[in-house]
């Protein structure tokens, strides 16, 4: 796996996880305050974070498959 692919995978996965954690904290606070805008933003953040993690996993899978195929040649 190339260094660039590792960096992208790490950034997407870690960044997505951080966004999800922050969004969960905002969601908890928004539910306590009954703020519909805060709830909407936090749910958007949770979805965005989950997508970031998912893309990171897909990139990792693709690069590992390519590395395996290159090693077999």
Q: Does the pLDDT of residue 69 top 80, yes or no?
A: no
pLDDT at 17 over 80: yes
Quick check: 37 pLDDT over 80?
yes
| pLDDT of 55 over the 70 cut | yes
Q: How far apart, in whole angstroms, are the C-alpha atoms of residue 71 and residue 73?
A: 6
Q: Position of tokens 């897909």?
A: 58
CA distance 73 to 26: 50
Supply the pLDDT for residue 2.
Answer: 67
Which residues are CB-neighbours of 29 under 8 A, at least 6 positions away? 38
d(CA 4, CA 56): 12
Least confident of 8-12, 23-27, 51-55: 8-12
The predicted model gives 19-48 an average pLDDT of 85
């Amino acid at each position: 796996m190339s260094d660039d692919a590792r960096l992208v995978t790490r950034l997407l996965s870690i960044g997505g996880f951080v966004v999800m954690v922050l969004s969960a904290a905002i969601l908890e606070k928004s539910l306590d305050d009954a703020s519909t805008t805060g709830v909407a933003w936090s749910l958007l953040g949770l979805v965005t974070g989950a997508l970031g993690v998912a893309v990171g996993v897909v990139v990792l899978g693709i690069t590992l498959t390519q590395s395996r195929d290159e090693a077999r040649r």
